Structure 1
Amino acid sequence: MTGNIVARRYAKALFALAKKAGKKAPAEYGKDLEAFAAILEASPDLLKVFANPVIAAEDKKAVLAGVVGKLGLKPNVVNFLSLLADKERLPIILEVAAYYRSLLDETEGVLRGELVTAYALADTRQDQIKTKLEKQSGKKLVLSFAVDPAILGGVLLKVGDKVLDASLRAQLEILKEQIKRGE
Structure 2
Amino acid sequence: MTDNIIARRYAKALFSLGLEKGGDELAAYGKDLAALAEILKGSPEALKVFRNPIFGAQDKKVVIGKMMDKLAVGQMVRNFCLLLADKDRLGYLPQIQVVFAELLDAHQGVLRGSLVTAVEVPDARKEAIKQQLESQAKAKLVLGYEIDPGILGGVVLKVGDKVLDASLRAQLSMLKEQIIRGE
- TM-score between both structures, scaled by the size of structure 1: 0.98
- Secondary structure of 1:24 counterpart: helix
Distance in 2, matches of 1:27 and 1:137, equals 23
- Which position in structure 2 is the counterpart of 1:78? 78
Identity percentage over the alignment? 57
- Secondary structure of 1:163 counterpart: strand
- Which position in structure 2 is the counterpart of 1:167? 167
* CA shift for structure 1 position 23: 2.8
- Which position in structure 2 is the counterpart of 1:100? 100
- Secondary structure of 1:45 counterpart: helix
For residues 1-183 of structure 1, what are the structure 2 equivalents within 5 Å? Answer: 1-183=1-183
- TM-score between both structures, scaled by the size of structure 2: 0.98
- Secondary structure of 1:53 counterpart: coil
- Secondary structure of 2:157 counterpart: strand
1:14-42 CA distance string (max 9 Å, x none): 00011112231111110000000010011
Return 5+ residue gaps in structure 2 as ranges.
none
Return 5+ residue gaps in structure 1 as ranges.
none
* CA shift for structure 1 position 58: 0.9
Letter of the aligned partner of 1:147 in structure 2? I
Letter of the aligned partner of 1:148 in structure 2? D
1:86-145 CA distance string (max 9 Å, x none): 111111111111111111111111000000000111100100000000000000000010
Letter of the aligned partner of 1:106 in structure 2? A
Distance in 2, matches of 1:176 and 1:90, equals 50
Stretches of 4+ aligned residues off by more than 2 angstroms: none
Distance in 2, matches of 1:147 and 1:140, equals 23
